[in-house]
Structure 1
């Protein structure tokens, strides 16, 4: 199958929710390396699911590389898979190492990767990759999470190249219909920008924009959270573009200069959550005269709502600037900037003088604030190994990161279950939850309380930072606990058979799964009415579990006392005529008296029949019609009576 046709079959755009930010960007994998002498050097896993970002080390098979990385989690923040330099790694671990998917492929010289979800199938994802290879292809892979027992695998038939001669940067933009998407790249020569529509029909023909700007195709290409702006580096400075979400066309917005243009150029970028600020990380420029790098870099903020290009340029504020005392052949630069789901921007600084153990992430705590109020904080997360790329994340999943969000780990729970709430976004640092059903602690720093609601409940959280206060709500639906009742004999004889039991009060159209301890079910499993044969003396238990089809199973139990034996019942008419009716002398409940002795006498007291361990099989073959008398003895008990033989 031609790859172009394949794309038309499987690309279906991205499902989005315009009023909520979920947790697809909750897990970041970065750092690490491979040394020929030291072997794999651990990378760092950052977990944004809690108010404080948690950090742990990890290893992957063959060792983490400093090339392209991307991660994706489900909407509740649970890791699905991540990529690194051409490999796709599942969440499966072996010997404490994450394992590549079976059809992951081989390593490449990748620059950036971007993961998108198929809207018609939440189990399918697509990975776009740009590379440093001679033909600069834009590659795509498909991951199906149903494969490999739910751990996912790459679908080999869905891998290939979309277009060649592509620049290294990529961005995802939300279509004007708030349903479809645009995948945006640049040409390898930097003279044009390509927009590929991604919708229910697949990936369509590219839209080519010629912005008359000579952009740097080796820089990052970043989108604003609202998908209305693009930014990248250029020969004249930092190039901003308007993006038409209807047509995919790109048009010039402004060109912004770097305060120290002879020594630095724009390289990495991020927009603020409110789309009003632009953050630029610079890279030192090579000085051909002295044959060395100028060895300085900065983090800059521009206020995009200030007015025209000149007015915006005048708002530039340096949040951070550093330089090396001695020149080096290796550049000093802000290697990447990435907005996170907590509303903060994280940055990595490539300092060639650092050893493996000296690398940190820094952060901009309040990126919606102007100037130094943005709160740049240096060296906040120690990552050890070299960081050239933060996880390339689809910026559209952060389009509401400026608003406080609240989420439950499960939207619907069963009666009696617990659920974890979480609040995030808006740069919030303090959290206070309303005390309602299932929540008793007013802890004002707890972003992720665990609650035990007994009824459907809406929780409110108020969160704050030094500059703002926000409120969010989350609703947890509690499925009603049905009042199942069991009825039937609670005291039975040992070995009692066909005892009837019934359940009532169950949810309509549910299935009942019965369990019997001390006996066995004769009939009725799955229904509300069963028959049971009980065993020897002691105690028994019936337990019924209601399976509702909504992942909620409720149960009820009934204890049964098993004791004693029923008295024998003697049928005193025998008609041994071969019609199989009353042909033999029958004693009902005989199984309770298996060790016995039976004697039969005629009217004159003469014994005419005797046997031990009687089996209900005496048919009076040798006797004539008349009245006879029996004596039945079992243990210390004796029963006497008469019987009539009719022939």
Structure 2
């Protein structure tokens, strides 16, 4: 059984704590607190913005696709990229795999830049090395390097980064202009590959009608793409993070209001990939924010609070698992706090981020996806009901987990465990299993899982090797409370089993709740001769009480006279009793096997 528990989202990758956008607008995420507005940005851009911080959450760079600024809000020399701050998703900053200092800064042109000939802006990049300029960063080579895009070098207004299936490298995905081709370039420790994976699928992004504008995003697991074709429609596509191939384009016209599709602009996935959020707006056609439930027949519902529409444009999923949405020319940012939840439960909050200076124009900060997300779900695998003495297996599924600790609720803990563990409960009851997951950035998630432990039955047939007398059969006893079922190896279901022949015998007992226990014995049956007379006269014949067929040293012997008084008791009897000091007469004996509980009783006459 797989039980999934939603837990409070945690900040996992602090590289994406700083958001810079619009006309001098900026804010930063804070662990354990609300986002805080930031002053000091010198960037003025309509869209096409990106930023990045270090692993501690300190700002490093920001860009509008035209130039790059450092953390002191100073323009980095020779950082002209050749892109446009008017492109919908016109820029992106991605740290090169395997490096702690090199950052690729990508830019694409705006549709109004499209020209023919050698001056096509297209798709360009530069590399910033943070070890230069005393840690402020400098260009590691020429900036604005153009990447060819057949057939005309035009690029649509989107650039996105999707983590490859190996969990290390990226696909840098752009769309060609006046074509339906997606280009996926590998970004690895060796740099940006020059040979893209080309997928011709879906609609053409063209200059006429401005369908080259509009956002495109990847789902956090990297298996889907969503695309807005501005003032036309939305599409949902499949993406293969192993190959970079895009396929299976589906238009969403049938599921969204016509006016929303006709003004399509923003798209973003929920952290679990089950919801797709859409925005649309053009001039007076203000649509707002809509949620499309991808697991519920594409049910579409408006989730922002404005009944007459609002100028929502860009959407961006943050490392805290929330979606931040741009309100055109607004002084604040609205937030979807629980985007995995359907409809109004998604927790739409207006003006959740207040900007001390500046404002959003159209676009909001563009980040890679999905690897910066902290795990928002912890799944505990295993039965919710177990029996005492039965191994209870638990498994924790959470991406990016570096440290896992377990608390089993019965006083036992596993402080430095792995994602899979096994625990034995010795007492029945209800326990709450807790798992704590910490990632490499120090983010912590906790989840809890109730477990009901039922009492297992107990059955004990004695030692695994036993012997019995053919003349006096061995009775194996597995008596249980009335509600417990008993089944023997011969198929019988009685509380006891009488053994008359040598062999292996087993029993299984099972409670109504399914808890079971079993035991197995090997019984050797042989003829046994217990004498009924001894003559302790010293002639060496029949002087002692000799048990033939019974293993010596196993049995306890007790002897009573005719008045019932105990006259002898010997543990681990070895055939040595000769009625020393006792008169002639009849005596009563009892033989007990401590290993099996078997008792043999009778009389023996002492003749002198």
TM-score relative to the length of structure 2: 0.54
Report what 1:255 is aligned to. 251
Matched, 1:124 2:102: yes
Shift >6 Å, 4+ stretches? 474-477
Identify the match of residue 315 of structure 2 among 334, 337, 347. 337
Q: Which residue of 1 aligns with 2:351?
A: 379
Q: Tell me the equivalent position of 1:188.
A: 177
Aligned partner (choices 395, 412, 415) of residue 369 of structure 2: 395
Give deviations 1:320-371, integer Å, cap 9, x for gaps.
Answer: 264769xxxxxx6422001111111010122xxx6xxx53210101001111
Shift of 1:403: 4.6
Assess, with a 3 A threshold, how the Cα gap between structure 1 residues 394 and 476 changes in structure 2: closer, same or farther. closer
Say whether 1:104 aligns with 2:87: no
1:138 aligns with 2:120: no
CA RMSD of aligned residues (A): 3.5
Moved more, 359-368 or 205-214: 205-214
Label 1:360 to 1:474 Cα distance change in 2 as closer, same or farther (>3 A): closer
Q: Distance in 2 between matches of 1:344 and 1:188?
A: 32
- Which residue does 1:472 correspond to in 2? 437
Post-superposition offset of 1:88: 1.1
Change (3 A) 1:151 1:236: closer
- For the structure 1 residues 51 and 190, does the alpha-carbon distance in structure 2 shift closer, same or farther, using more than 3 Å as the test? farther
* Aligned: 1:27 with 2:25: no
With over 3 angstroms needed to count, the CA separation of the structure-2 counterparts of 1:56 and 1:213, relative to structure 1, is: closer
Q: 1:370 aligns with which of 328, 339, 342?
A: 342
Runs of at least 5 residues in structure 2 that lack an aligned partner in the other structure: 1-9, 115-119, 206-210, 379-397, 400-404, 407-414, 418-433, 443-608
Checking the alignment, whether the CA contact within 8 Å between 1:126 and 1:143 is kept in structure 2 is yes
1:275 aligns with: 273
SS at match of 1:149: helix
Assess if the C-alpha contact under 8 Å between 1:195 and 1:248 holds in 2.
yes
Q: Pick from 212, 219, 227 the counterpart of residue 217 of structure 1.
A: 212
Equivalent of residue 160 in structure 2, options 166, 171, 175: 171
| Cα displacement (A) at 1:165 | 0.8
Unaligned runs of 5+ in 1: 1-18, 33-41, 93-97, 285-292, 326-331, 405-424, 427-432, 435-456, 460-468, 478-647
C-alpha contact (below 8 Å) 2:321/2:373 kept by paired residues = no
Measure how far apart 1:21 and its partner are: 3.5
Residue 282 of structure 1: how far off its partner (Å):
1.3
Question: Do the aligned partners of 1:226 and 1:399 also contact (CA within 8 Å) in 2?
Answer: no
Q: TM-score, normalised by structure 1?
A: 0.51
Structure 2 counterparts to residues 350-365 of structure 1, below 5 A:
350=328, 358-365=330-337
Distance 1:144 1:319, change over 3 A: same
**1:349 counterpart (314, 319, 327):** 327
Please give the alpha-carbon distance, in whole angstroms, between the structure 2 residues aligned to 1:344 and 1:20: 10
1:303 lines up with 2:293 in the alignment: yes
CA distance in 2, matches of 1:223, 1:475: 24
- 2:30 aligns with 48
TM-fit CA distance, 1:393: 0.6
Distance in 2 (CA, whole Å) between partners of 1:146 and 1:115 is 17
Against the structure 1 CA distance between its residues 56 and 181, is the aligned structure 2 distance closer, same or farther, given a 3 Å change threshold? closer
Aligned with residue 134 of structure 2, among 144, 149, 170: 149
Match of 1:319 among 303, 314, 323: 303
Mapped to 2, the partners of 1:230 and 1:320 lie a distance apart of 23
Residues paired across the two proteins, number: 363
Q: Cα distance, 1:108 vs. partner?
A: 5.5
Alignment partners' CA distance in 2, 1:157 and 1:193: 26
C-alpha separation in 1, matches of 2:441 and 2:324: 32
